Amino acid sequence: MRFLVVWRLWALVGVGVMAGAWVAVASKRRHHVVRFTSVELLDVVAPRRPRWRHHVPAALFLVALVALILGFARPVRAVQVTDQRATVILAVDVSLSMEATDVAPSRLEVARRAARDFVADLPDDLNVGLVTFHDVASVAVAPTRDREALAAAIDGFDLGEGTAIGEAVMASLDAVAVAPAGEDGEPAPARIVVMSDGETTSGIPNEDAAAAAAEAGVPVDTIAFGTPGGTIEDRFGDTVEVPVAPGPLADLAGATGGDAFEAGSLGELSAAYADITKVAAHEDVARDVSAWFVGAGIGLLGMAGSLSLAWGQRLP
């Protein structure tokens, strides 16, 4: 929580001065009572009551002033709301290494299932695009709200040689550029999600793509999917190791202000997508909560007045 008009909090100093004066007056009053000459007459004029009753209304009054001053300073707190203007581009690696079965039944089938769930879980009002990449990258589905078109494209993944992560980011930026603008005519906020098991072997370097994404203000979240023990068979029947390479993907995410994830199972991949959904589909909005403090202050003033009237037949 933060305050929009911080200088108004200086009024709390006045409350502190009032509290100090109250303590001083209360101490002086006790000293005068001790000097009273007739204890019997004192009991008649001012019968004994629990001492704490004298302090409660005043304490409530001071706390009420604090609450009202805090409200006067216009406190706000950040709350997450669905950002219906956002565009999310999902870039999925469809290189041959995705045939690896270290994640059963295969990296590709698990990635396909998780991608379908990710798209389905995003709010319906969000525009979602799909990019696929191996040695080249292409926009499979331009940003749209048509979830059936996205699901059909995910089911139709075709594998190819090579891995062009940088090209995938650039293609995603092109897709963002043609996404529908917000209702105010301003470009909608966007986020790119890159899911891959390897590192760039063709196309532009990751560093160049990261610089372009950072300049465009589009964060890139990355998911390194697979395990260190992944293998595939090449066209000659030989076994080829295809271990997951999380390092380059983490560097890409870090350079663009995105988040980097690692997943070695369907559960971990789904969890990564769920975390991304929370960020991609929501935005932090400052909500004014001054009414809470003003309401609390008024309530405390009412309590202070009621108790003072009930116990002392006067207002504090």
CA pair distance 16, 6, nearest whole angstrom: 17
Residues in the chain: 316
- Provide the 8-state DSSP code for 160: B
Say if residue 302's pLDDT is above 80: yes
Whole domain around residue 58: which residue ranges? 2-78+289-312
Domain identity same for 125 and 28? no
pLDDT at 135 over 60: yes
- Residue 224 is encoded by which pair of tokens? 């390194």
Residues 166 and 208 in one domain: yes
Co-location of 68 and 191 in the same domain = no
Is the same domain home to 178 and 241?
Answer: yes
Using alpha carbons, select from 287, 288, 284 the residue that is nearest to residue 81.
284
Tell me: do 62 and 188 sit in the same domain.
no
Distance between CA atoms of residues 291 and 44, nearest Å:
46
CATH number at residue 102: 3.40.50.410
pLDDT of residue 9: 87
Number of structural domains found in the chain: 2
Residue 263's DSSP bridge partners are 225
Torsions phi, psi of 288, nearest 5? -70, 125
Q: Do 275 and 178 reside in the same domain of the chain?
A: yes
Residues 95 and 50 in one domain: no
Residue 206: both structure tokens together: 């990751």
Q: What's the pLDDT tens digit per position in 265-287?
A: 999 999 999 988 877 655 555 67
How confident is residue 35, by pLDDT bands cut at 50, 70 and 90?
low
**96 and 239 share one domain:** yes
Angle between helix axes 165-177 and 246-256 (nearest 10 degrees) is 30
Q: 60 with 106, same domain?
A: no
pLDDT at residue 65 tops 80: yes
Q: Across residues 65-71, what is the average pLDDT? A: 87
**What is the 8-class DSSP label of residue 10?**
G
Query: Which residues on neighbouring strands pair with residue 261, listed in sequence order?
Result: 223
Tokens of 144: 């749209």
For the full predicted model, state whether its pTM sits above 0.85: no
Handedness of CA 149, 154, 159, 165 (dihedral sign): positive
Residues contacting 232, CB < 8 A, separation 6+: 96, 97, 99, 100, 239, 240, 242
**174 and 251 together in one domain:** yes
Least confident range from 1-5, 173-177, 278-282: namely 278-282
148 in Cβ contact with 185 (< 8 Å) = no
Is residue 138 domain-shared with residue 42, that is, in the same domain? no
Tally of CB atoms within 10 A around 261? 23
- 115 and 216 part of one domain: yes
